[in-house]
Amino acid sequence: MVEAVSPRQAMDWLATGQAVLIDVREPDEFAVAHIPYALSAPLARTTAILRDMDLPADRKIVFQCQRGARGGQACAAVGASAPGGQPVFNLNGGIEAWRDAGLPLIATGAAPRLSIFRQVQIVVGLLVVVSVLAGFAFGPAGFVVAGLFGAALATAGVTGWCGMAILLNRAPWNRP
């Protein structure tokens, strides 16, 4: 069971030095806006980064993302406690709840754009829909292609490596 913490409670912990905040969003999301003192450790690499960090054993670890889902995944991946024995928590509602609570944010003023994570979801979703429609119109090969896209997406989720995300990162609309 993932323990959640409210934005106000997390702010109190951070202000008194009782916790460390780890933002598990992608670097482009972190660059647009983040919570002061948050450390960036994208979800795909969170456990490896956490193993390499020398965090004080007496501090709680709070994972944070956009709305709370990826923070919960980070908590589940790490378990009830971090490698150093620190208890882990998920920031309830993520950075959006933090902002809605009127707590401070560091914003670059950069135009918000769709994260690579969401772009991959949109592209793969559309490719699956088109492949399924092709399967109905032209035969079973379309269903096989849809299955391959689904398998590729599942593999990306398990391994943290996504070739489509790498390609989308190089697309002109994602360049600074």
pLDDT tens per residue across span 53-81: 888 889 999 999 999 999 999 998 888 66
DSSP assignments along 68-108, one per residue: SHHHHHHHHHH-SB-TTS-BEEEETTHHHHHHHTT---EE-
Q: pLDDT tens digit string along 81-121?
A: 677 788 999 999 999 999 999 999 998 766 557 878 889 99
User: Percent of the chain scored above 90 by pLDDT?
Assistant: 57
Residues classed as catalytic:
65
User: Which pLDDT belongs to residue 176?
Assistant: 64
User: Which pLDDT belongs to residue 31?
Assistant: 86
User: Which pLDDT belongs to residue 23?
Assistant: 97
User: Which pLDDT belongs to residue 130?
Assistant: 96
Q: Looking at the predicted structure, is the pLDDT value of residue 136 above 90?
A: yes
User: Which pLDDT belongs to residue 112?
Assistant: 57
User: Which pLDDT belongs to residue 158?
Assistant: 83
User: Which pLDDT belongs to residue 160?
Assistant: 77
Question: What is the DSSP secondary structure assignment for residue 129, as one 8-state letter?
Answer: H
CB 142 within 8 A of CB 135: yes
User: Which pLDDT belongs to residue 81?
Assistant: 66
**pLDDT (average), residues 112-140:** 90
> Residue 42 and residue 26: Cα distance in Å, rounded?
5
How many residues in the chain?
Answer: 176
Q: Is the pTM of this model over 0.85?
A: no
